[in-house]
């Protein structure tokens, strides 16, 4: 299927690894030129090189922390008029105990996973509206819909982000600007690989064994983690020409763990 977005320009904030990288690859395979941001230079440059080699699209790396005003300014200056905006970050830290969360923890989590995507949306939506074409996908978390004490810092700000983006999506849909969210459950990414590799070393097992153990313990119906590439393909679908009538949705991709009908 042709997604109809060849020649469009996309910013992927947090695109050097994990689901951001999966999204970048999927968009590049559709012929979309990319501006990819992340904090770490080396991994970012390798990712951009890899994508350019495979797809031949133009990929510009921007080393920037998008949780800061300075970082956001750098990204905006590099591409003031994107057609597509995809935003993600490393999962905010887990909190085994709600009482241990400090005001500073909240500030950090809110900056990266709520205020940053909001400020990018505010910046880019007027141009998308004027050009009568725009697609925005926020990569959030299943914990936005299904709260858990361990993921309060991840789920809380993203629940607010979903609320905000759905409200804004209604206002701009008539200008062919489609804003949607995708809420992942467990996926193989740089972040999970670090966590489960460490567990495997501690327990004398392998990464794969730890993943299966987790999937059984938490009763993930698919009994596995998702892949960043499958996830990225769904992001690209939400950025497609065909997504013009898909407005303010929050798709959960979690192997079936979310136990609701709709
Ligand atoms: N992985 C899962 O199983 C899982 C489950 C549920 C929800 N999620 C959610 O899915 C999203 C993506 O997770 P992931 O596992 O794909 O993460 P990941 O593998 O850690 O990748 C995160 C990407 O974002 C970049 N990044 C992080 N902080 C940044 C910042 N402040 N400024 C610019 N770039 C930044 C990272 O590069 P640098 O570090 O170099 O900046 C990297 O490219 C997160 O929001 C997470 O909460 C993930």
pLDDT tens, residue by residue, 144-166: 999 999 999 999 999 999 999 99
pLDDT at 2: 97
Centre of ligand 1 to C-alpha 31, Å, is 24
Centre of ligand 1 to C-alpha 223, Å, is 23
**Ligand 1 pocket, CB under 6 A:** 14-20, 37-40, 43, 65-67, 88-91, 112, 139, 141-142, 154, 184-187, 189-192
Structure confidence at residue 201 as a pLDDT band (50, 70, 90): very high
Percent of the chain with pLDDT over 70: 100
Q: How far apart are CA 1 and CA 3, in angstroms?
A: 6
pTM: 0.98
Structure confidence at residue 123 as a pLDDT band (50, 70, 90): very high
pLDDT at 3: 98
Radius of gyration, alpha carbons of the chain: 18
Q: Describe the crossing of helices 103-110 and 152-172 by its angle, rounded to 10 degrees.
A: 40
What residue segments make up the domains of the chain, in order of their start? 9-186+230-253
CA neighbours closer than 13 Å in the CB half-sphere of residue 208: 0
pLDDT per residue as tens digits for the range 213-233: 999 999 999 999 999 999 999
Q: Which of 116, 24, 26, 23 is nearest to 74 (CA)?
A: 116
pLDDT per residue as tens digits for the range 68-120: 999 999 999 999 999 999 999 999 999 999 999 999 999 999 999 999 999 99
Centre of ligand 1 to C-alpha 99, Å, is 25
**Residue nearest atom 16 in ligand 1 by C-alpha distance:** 18
Q: Which fold has domain 9-186+230-253?
A: Rossmann fold (3.40.50)
> 222, 256 in Cβ contact below 8 A?
yes
**Residue nearest atom 44 in ligand 1 by C-alpha distance:** 91
Element (DSSP H or E) covering residue 166: helix 152-172
**Residue nearest atom 22 in ligand 1 by C-alpha distance:** 90
């Amino acid at each position: 299927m042709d997604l109809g977005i060849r020649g469009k320009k996309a910013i992927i904030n947090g695109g050097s690894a994990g689901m951001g990288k999966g999204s970048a690859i999927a968009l590049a395979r559709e012929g979309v030129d990319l501006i990819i941001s992340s904090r770490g230079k080396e991994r970012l440059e390798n990712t951009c090189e890899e994508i350019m080699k495979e797809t031949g699209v133009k990929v510009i790396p921007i080393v920037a922390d998008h949780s800061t005003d300075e970082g956001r300014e750098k990204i905006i200056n590099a591409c003031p008029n994107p057609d597509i905006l995809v935003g993600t970050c490393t999962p905010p830290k887990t909190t085994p105990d709600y009482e241990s969360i400090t005001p500073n923890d909240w500030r950090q989590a809110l900056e990266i996973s709520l205020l940053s995507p909001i400020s990018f949306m505010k910046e880019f939506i007027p141009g998308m509206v004027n050009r009568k074409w725009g697609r925005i996908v926020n990569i959030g978390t299943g914990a936005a819909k299904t709260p858990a004490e361990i993921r309060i810092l991840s789920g809380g700000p993203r629940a607010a982000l979903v609320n905000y983006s759905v409200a804004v999506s209604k206002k701009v849909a008539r200008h062919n600007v489609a804003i949607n969210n995708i809420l992942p459950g467990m996926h193989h990414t740089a972040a999970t690989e670090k966590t489960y590799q460490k567990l495997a070393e501690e327990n004398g097992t392998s990464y794969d064994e730890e993943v299966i153990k987790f999937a059984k313990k938490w009763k993930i119906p698919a009994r596995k983690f998702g892949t960043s590439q499958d996830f990225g393909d769904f992001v690209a679908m939400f950025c497609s020409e065909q997504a013009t009538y898909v407005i303010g949705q929050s798709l959960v991709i979690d192997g079936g763990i979310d136990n609701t009908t709709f």
